[in-house]
Amino acid sequence: MNVAPSVTDTSTISVPAARVAIAAAGAALLLLATLHVLSPEFDPSWRVVSEYANGRYGWVLSLMFASWAISSLALAVAVWSQANGIGGKIGLGLLITAGVGEAMASVCDIAHPLHNLAGLLGVLSLPIAAMLISVRLGRTQAWSPSRKMLLWTANLTWVSLVLMSAALSIMISRHTRVGNKTALDVIASVGWTNRLLVAAYCAWVMAVASQALRLRRQLAR
């Protein structure tokens, strides 16, 4: 039995918040790319993003995390009225949690005792939020045409998390077996998977926010 898509009022989508989400996510990616140029001593193939805090341009990393946080929080505001139901609201709550974690990372660098907590909140919450929100939006009449795009980008978030977790597990295992000595062939994939995660998370935010703006433009015609 097919269930008809639910109806949402797209006029309640916050256009300013959606625009901020796109701009902030884009800024986060641009700042991350800039760090590769400013701090070439941190090889992106095996140094994680948070390690840029140990260089001369730690303040750029703080801006990146702050922009990332703004993008998540702004998206929650933009689609708050659209992600209805228990699943949708849980997803929005987790999206806010991710934003809080990202904001914490902007002031709690890799040497701070709260940095790991910030990472757990930011990294683990967003993939669940992305899936719950995307599934819920895709079940509404207005958002259903973009359902595949929403789900594809949402799935990329947890796939990137799995890849990074696998890379970290392999690193820890091999690092131990070689006597706790740093070896490039042991940890060569960790940095790239870490950066892929940031890109995938930002891509989902931008995809949802862009679709929100498209729906508002359609309403204005």
Whole-number Å distance between alpha carbons of 19 and 2 = 35
175-187 pLDDT per residue, tens: 555 455 554 444 5
Nearest residue to 174 (alpha-carbon basis) of 192, 188, 193: 188
Contact yes or no for 43/86 (Cβ under 8 A): no
95-120 pLDDT per residue, tens: 999 999 999 999 999 999 999 999 99
- What are residue 102's phi and psi, to 5 degrees? -65, -40
Q: What is the C-alpha radius of gyration for the chain, rounded to an integer number of angstroms?
A: 18
What pLDDT does 206 receive?
Answer: 98
Contact yes or no for 86/97 (Cβ under 8 A): no
Structure confidence at residue 3 as a pLDDT band (50, 70, 90): very low
